[in-house]
Structure 1
Amino acid sequence: MVLSRQDFRKQIRFKRNQLHSDVQFQASMDLVSQCAQLTEFQNAKHVALYLSADGELITTPLIEWLWRQGKKTYLPVIHPFSQGHLLFLHYDQNTPMVFNRYYIAEPKLDQTQIIPAQQLDIICTPLVGFDSTGHRLGMGGGYYDRTLEPWFKTGHGPKPIGLAHDCQHVDKLPIESWDIPLPKIVTPSQIWDWE
């Protein structure tokens, strides 16, 4: 039986939501160790991440590590006028936060804190699942596929790097024409590299 994209989403989300809090904590620490090895993170000045939800690999320790390295961090905000698109706003300990329509915390919209996506060095992308060829399965809104399309077409701009638990890997995902494969995905135990 061939699983649909929705079936994969259900199965993988269930698996990651079953991870014990101790496992989640250790995974978040291991993620920092993995990312610290990558020249992309060592050389970056502007890094977009996301705040974890729904059992995603916890990104807070990575964000705090980036702050200690003197890097600026940014979080995605759902664009208020351009449907299906993201803005990226500067994020630090004092950033006022609100909940978006998906009940995910994001910075309160402030035009002075927006960075054009092309000025980012890295966009860390959330994902539900990924396969052995670098294809990423998101939640289905297409926000990151739209954001990464210019990079995919030209090879220029911020480098997308996926972050995931090891249990989110599957051999092969069903893909669609609009899906943007990732050049690199970091899990607590491995750096997957397709460059």
Structure 2
Amino acid sequence: MTTHREKKAALRMERLALRDAISPEQRIEKSLAIAEHAGDEIEFDPGTVISGFFPIRSEMDVRPLMARLRARGARLGLPVIVSRQQIVFRELVPDGTLVDTGFGTFGPGPDAEEVDPDIMLVPLSAFDATGHRIGYGAGLYDRAIDQIRKKGLNPRLIGIAFDLQEVAHVPAETHDVSLDAILTESGLRHFR
């Protein structure tokens, strides 16, 4: 019998292979499309902390969207891996120094302010129509979200993916964190 973990691993490999096959030119166009779709549609008050991420491998590039959100008054944060089990979010400020933060990406250094996001743009490998997601298997975002919630905060979770990363069903487990919305090149869809 196949376990949830094995099913997730198979879906992860399948969807990441499809994502990897997107040409660099298409990836740029689709990344610009999400900024166009959601740059004004994501609701927040000025000063709201929104965490994004710098793309690794074939991920959607949310930097154009982040720039748009900053122009609307958002404070931006980026994830920084502080151990194999933990990420924190540090504020991304204009002209701030970026350092290697692991997994082939960059983020603010240890001198940057740690922030708790009000809205999180969440990378993923697969998602379904109910808001369940499959990450990359390390559980870093699930643990980070849990730590933020233990502080009494409830960040809005917006998954970032390409349309082709949608699957019919994600085998969700009790510890899995569901998304509030998904943002793809087709637009922003809310789950709750």
TM-score range, shorter chain: 0.7 to 0.9
Give the aligned partner of residue 8 of structure 2: 5
Instruction: Tell me if 1:139 matches 2:136.
Output: yes
In the alignment, the residues of structure 1 paired with residue 88 and residue 171 of structure 2 have an alpha-carbon distance, to the nearest angstrom, of 28
Does the CA-based 8 Å contact 1:28-1:188 persist in structure 2?
Answer: yes
The worse-fitting range, judged by mean Cα deviation, of 46-55 and 95-104 is 95-104
SS in 2 for 1:146: helix
Does the CA-based 8 Å contact 1:148-1:160 persist in structure 2?
Answer: no
SS in 1 for 2:43: helix
Residue ranges of structure 2 left out of the alignment (5+ in a row): none
Instruction: Tell me if 1:121 matches 2:118.
Output: yes
Matched residue type, 2:104: Y
TM-score (norm 1): 0.85
Deviation (angstroms), 1:153? 8.4
SS in 2 for 1:157: coil
Does the CA-based 8 Å contact 1:48-1:75 persist in structure 2?
Answer: yes
Give the aligned partner of residue 52 of structure 2: 49
Matched residue type, 2:172: I
Q: How many pairs are equivalent?
A: 189
In the alignment, the residues of structure 2 paired with residue 149 and residue 190 of structure 1 have an alpha-carbon distance, to the nearest angstrom, of 27
Normalized per residue, the structure richer in helix is 1
Identity %, equivalent residues: 27
Deviation (angstroms), 1:184? 0.7
**Shift in alpha-carbon separation, 1:190–1:23, aligned structure 2, 3 A:** same
Deviation (angstroms), 1:161? 1.0
Does the CA-based 8 Å contact 1:44-1:122 persist in structure 2?
Answer: no
Does the CA-based 8 Å contact 2:49-2:118 persist in structure 1?
Answer: yes
TM-score (norm 2): 0.86
SS in 2 for 1:100: strand
CA RMSD of aligned residues (A): 2.5
SS in 1 for 2:143: helix
Does the CA-based 8 Å contact 2:46-2:72 persist in structure 1?
Answer: no
Matched residue type, 2:155: P
- Matching of residues 73-84 of structure 1 within 5 Å: 73-80=76-83, 84=85
Residue ranges of structure 1 left out of the alignment (5+ in a row): none
**Shift in alpha-carbon separation, 1:166–1:42, aligned structure 2, 3 A:** farther
Alpha-carbon deviations, 1:24-50, whole Å to 9, x = none?
111111111221343424666221111
Deviation (angstroms), 1:156? 4.5
In the alignment, the residues of structure 1 paired with residue 79 and residue 172 of structure 2 have an alpha-carbon distance, to the nearest angstrom, of 24
Picking from 60, 65, 72, the partner of 2:63 is 60
SS in 2 for 1:40: coil
- Matching of residues 1-195 of structure 1 within 5 Å: 4-41=7-44, 45-80=48-83, 84-110=85-111, 112-115=112-115, 117=116, 120-149=117-146, 156-195=153-192
In the alignment, the residues of structure 1 paired with residue 27 and residue 45 of structure 2 have an alpha-carbon distance, to the nearest angstrom, of 24
Does the CA-based 8 Å contact 2:56-2:104 persist in structure 1?
Answer: no
In the alignment, the residues of structure 2 paired with residue 100 and residue 152 of structure 1 have an alpha-carbon distance, to the nearest angstrom, of 24
